[in-house]
Structure 1
Amino acid sequence: MALHRWYIYLDPLKGFPAVFKKVDVYILRQVMTPLLMTIGVSAMLLLLEKMLRLFDMVANQGGPVGVVFRMLGNLIPQYIGLALPLGFLLGVLLAFRKLSNSNELEGMQAGGMGLFRLMRAPLCLALALMAVNVALLGYIQPRSFYSYQSLLFDLTSGAFGTSIRPGEYSDLGDGFTLRIERAYDGGQKLEGIFAQKERSDGRVTTITAREGSFLATPDGSTVLMRLRDGTIVDVEPNKPAPRVFTFKQHDYPFEMPKITEFRQRGDKEREMTLPELWSESHTSQKPREAQTYLSAFYDRLLRSLTILVLPFMAVGLGVGPKRQQKQLGLVVGVILLLTLHKTLEFGTAAAGLGDGSTLLNLFLPFIGFTALSFFFFHTTAHRVGARPLAWIENGWEFLIENIQKISFFRRSEDDAEARGA
């Protein structure tokens, strides 16, 4: 009989089926718009800021432009992990504020739906986002961070190709130094070439040439430098005078510098997954390292569990009297969330240094944040007309009124002095 009150909703973006009432689907749509916008805008701004630095680094190192986008791709999970809780908080808060300001919330409550009932859609979404956040923090971010570090190592170590910048002396290893005044056509044409080879027996060979070019060899480990119109000076320790040769064309081969391999994943706790952190925290022979791994494990879990608490804080701060269209709840919610994340970060670092216990440094801030969120929700849901942040609003109004009074008295005194003069 009650089947007409239910239907299966297909999200056009996700294609994920969920069984909700119409009101739940409506609330979910109101939450998803600011959520996706916040995640997209935040990730885009962070990526653009990082892109400028990476382009500058790649240009200085002489690497290919494509490595910038590979590095940015590995940074996306890091930035989404930062933007996801913030976007969810803003999504729920703005959705319920819109429902409250448009009198839709009162209509739903008049129909017998309290705030607890209306929390069904945000809580279901919170469960899904919590699973996504666990996957991000526990599995995807450690591997993407390692890939980013590996690309950075390859870029700075020369694995993307030997970088020889014109006008600078480049040490290519094994006693070989090269300087090129100018280069054109991607190294196909060189001008003002200086090369010097120092051997272990003390023999030094110096070559100067007017122009030349780099040529590849079949083995791939040797580069052939074809020089034209130059001079070779060969100095041996046991001979009093150097040998000097001039040439029209001379081919000089030299080996590419050897590139060391990047370390294995897991050297840092940021590169370890949740199971690896838990295993290392119980098998490490060093107590401080074990505490570091354990604190990192709890830090990621608490960050994920925070998403379940955010709907209660968002509804508590978003629903309020219509006459007071203030953004204080939005500002306070963002500040509290960022404070919690920074406190967890500081607690993880302190626990790794042996300063305090893991439970005290991490669980105490999380418990305080959770208690504050439920207090906000309880005040809004069970006390008619009450505002969780009334004391802050009243204090701010009192401060503004006194500042205005002081300014008024000062202007009055100045006007009186001006009239008396």
Structure 2
Amino acid sequence: MKLIDRYVGGQLLLSSSLAVAVLSVVLVLGNIFKQLLELMVKNDTPIELILSFLAYILPFSLAFTIPWGFLTAVLLVFGKMSAENELIAFRANGVSIPRICYPVLFLSLICVGTCFWINIDVAPRAQAKMKEALYNIATSNPMAMFGADKVIDAFPSKKIYVESSKGPELSNLLVYEVSEDNQLIKVIFAHRGLLETDHEKKEILLHIFDARYEARDDDDVDNILKIKQGITMQESTLPISLEELHDKKRGKGMGGMTTGELLERLNNEEKQAHMTEKERSEEASATRTEMSKRYSFSLASFAFALIGVPLAITAHRKETSIGFLLSLGVAVTYFFFIIIANSVRENASWHPEFLMWLPNILCIGGGGWLFFRMSRR
């Protein structure tokens, strides 16, 4: 029996490691192109900042690639064993399918423990650090944020559109100034702009030329009839604080909070005192859903093991492409339910914290039924 365990377990371990490595590289490269490519092209980005970004994004990727890679390995290994009649040989010698699956269950529990640690603590901390690394990359050359034909919304009090740029020289700018409650208070249009960095004051100075603007009345901002229009100016300077940018980037979303911080947020009655009943319900629902997602997602490897073995044996194919296609189909279906539950996380009437467990229930229930059918053959 130990020889069988070593044989099956060794193949699973090797295949899982290769699958996790390949999937992790794909996800990491995808995130680099999505979030980092523009900054790397436009900025003279220090190599240590890029490496720190890669180090922080890897744990976040492993939360997805470990269960997916393990599922792929199960489908490949058992599909090959079924196609080459190894399972028939085992059963002819009195070794049942459930006994052959002991290494699968053992490795799945190791994956569950690893994913639990990553989802509960490592990935949230890494995600918060990843945002900080993106901030450091962006502000290593803050002028590079002002690209052509894009809206710069990184600053809480301003949103800036630039039609074209050439180094620090900008053309056709629209500057929207907003209040703390995100209410528009001033719109400025300028034909030309010039950027200057004041490192001592940690500010970007936006010099604008040939500009006109309209603004709400300071004493009655809600009255649109009192909007001042058609005001022109030849030259002016708008200071933009980099400290303001840092404060915004430093703020954590739920994805960057550890489970302890989420529990504290859920029980923070002082913070919820100024909120309406609807806002409290939405925040509580979103927080509980985030916690359920982490616990439920940690069990994905075990659920995939139960559904993967009977699927591989039923498919009865040793081709690698078939295994990858099956793993892709199961994983996409699993993640689809997670995405649906996450999209209604603030709608308490849908009970999204319970919907997060539906993919595991379906996989475990379906896998258990298929195992039962196989054992009776």
For the aligned pair, the TM-score class normalised by the smaller chain equals 0.5 to 0.7
Equivalent residue in structure 1 for 2:63, among 68, 81, 95: 81
Tell me which amino acid in the other structure corresponds to 2:308: A
Q: Summarize the Cα distance change of 1:177–1:272 in structure 2 as closer, same or farther, 3 Å threshold.
A: closer
TM-score, normalization by structure 1: 0.60
Measured in 1, the distance between the counterparts of 2:40 and 2:94 equals 61
Asked if 1:46 is matched to 2:27, the reply is: yes
Measured in 2, the distance between the counterparts of 1:306 and 1:371 equals 13
Asked if 1:67 is matched to 2:49, the reply is: yes
Aligned to 2:252: 267
Aligned to 1:186: none
Measured in 2, the distance between the counterparts of 1:84 and 1:66 equals 27
Kept in 2, the 8 Å contact 1:129–1:307? The answer is yes
Aligned to 2:15: 34
Q: Any idea what the Cα deviations from partners look like across 1:94-116, whole Å, max 9, x if unmatched?
A: 11122222222222212221111
Q: Summarize the Cα distance change of 1:39–1:322 in structure 2 as closer, same or farther, 3 Å threshold.
A: closer
Question: Deviation of residue 358 (structure 1)?
Answer: 3.1
Question: Deviation of residue 132 (structure 1)?
Answer: 0.5
Q: How does 1:133-152 map to 2 (within 5 A)?
A: 133-152=115-134
Equivalent residue in structure 2 for 1:372, among 360, 366, 377: 366
Aligned to 2:328: 334
Q: How does 1:17-416 map to 2 (within 5 A)?
A: 21-53=2-34, 54-156=36-138, 158=139, 160-161=140-141, 163=143, 166=167, 168=169, 169-172=194-197, 259-260=243-244, 261-262=246-247, 267-283=252-268, 285=272, 286-320=280-314, 331-383=325-377
Q: Any idea what the Cα deviations from partners look like across 1:142-181, whole Å, max 9, x if unmatched?
A: 011111111212333x2x2565874633133579568xxx
TM-score, normalization by structure 2: 0.67
Greater alpha carbon shift after TM alignment, 167-176 vs 88-97: 167-176
Is the partner of 1:319 in helix, strand or coil?
Answer: helix
Kept in 2, the 8 Å contact 1:317–1:329? The answer is no
Kept in 2, the 8 Å contact 1:30–1:95? The answer is yes
Kept in 2, the 8 Å contact 1:63–1:163? The answer is no
Measured in 1, the distance between the counterparts of 2:206 and 2:319 equals 69
Kept in 2, the 8 Å contact 1:51–1:68? The answer is no
Is the partner of 1:113 in helix, strand or coil?
Answer: coil
Measured in 1, the distance between the counterparts of 2:64 and 2:251 equals 22
Q: Summarize the Cα distance change of 1:32–1:325 in structure 2 as closer, same or farther, 3 Å threshold.
A: closer
Is the partner of 1:351 in helix, strand or coil?
Answer: coil
Is the partner of 1:171 in helix, strand or coil?
Answer: strand
Kept in 2, the 8 Å contact 1:316–1:378? The answer is no
Question: Number of residue pairs matched?
Answer: 288
Kept in 1, the 8 Å contact 2:304–2:363? The answer is no
Measured in 1, the distance between the counterparts of 2:316 and 2:111 equals 30
Structure 2 unaligned residues grouped into runs of 5+: 145-165, 170-193, 210-239, 273-279
Kept in 2, the 8 Å contact 1:108–1:114? The answer is yes
Question: Deviation of residue 258 (structure 1)?
Answer: 5.4
Measured in 1, the distance between the counterparts of 2:206 and 2:346 equals 45
> Is the radius of gyration larger for structure 1 or structure 2?
1
Greater alpha carbon shift after TM alignment, 76-85 vs 273-282: 273-282
Tell me which amino acid in the other structure corresponds to 2:266: S
Measured in 2, the distance between the counterparts of 1:130 and 1:280 equals 26
Q: Any idea what the Cα deviations from partners look like across 1:110-143, whole Å, max 9, x if unmatched?
A: 2221111111111111111101001111111101
Question: Deviation of residue 322 (structure 1)?
Answer: 5.5
Measured in 2, the distance between the counterparts of 1:299 and 1:333 equals 21
Q: Summarize the Cα distance change of 1:62–1:68 in structure 2 as closer, same or farther, 3 Å threshold.
A: same
Measured in 2, the distance between the counterparts of 1:367 and 1:36 equals 26
Tell me which amino acid in the other structure corresponds to 1:339: T
Greater alpha carbon shift after TM alignment, 37-46 vs 320-329: 320-329
Is the partner of 1:172 in helix, strand or coil?
Answer: strand
Q: Summarize the Cα distance change of 1:26–1:347 in structure 2 as closer, same or farther, 3 Å threshold.
A: same
Is the partner of 1:124 in helix, strand or coil?
Answer: helix
Structure 1 unaligned residues grouped into runs of 5+: 6-20, 179-195, 197-255, 384-421
RMSD value, Cα: 3.3
Q: Which has the higher contact order (CA 8 A, sep 6+)?
A: 2
Measured in 1, the distance between the counterparts of 2:370 and 2:321 equals 15
Measured in 2, the distance between the counterparts of 1:93 and 1:23 equals 18
Kept in 2, the 8 Å contact 1:74–1:148? The answer is yes
Question: Deviation of residue 330 (structure 1)?
Answer: 5.6
Is the partner of 2:195 in helix, strand or coil?
Answer: strand
Measured in 1, the distance between the counterparts of 2:251 and 2:103 equals 38
Q: Summarize the Cα distance change of 1:292–1:51 in structure 2 as closer, same or farther, 3 Å threshold.
A: closer
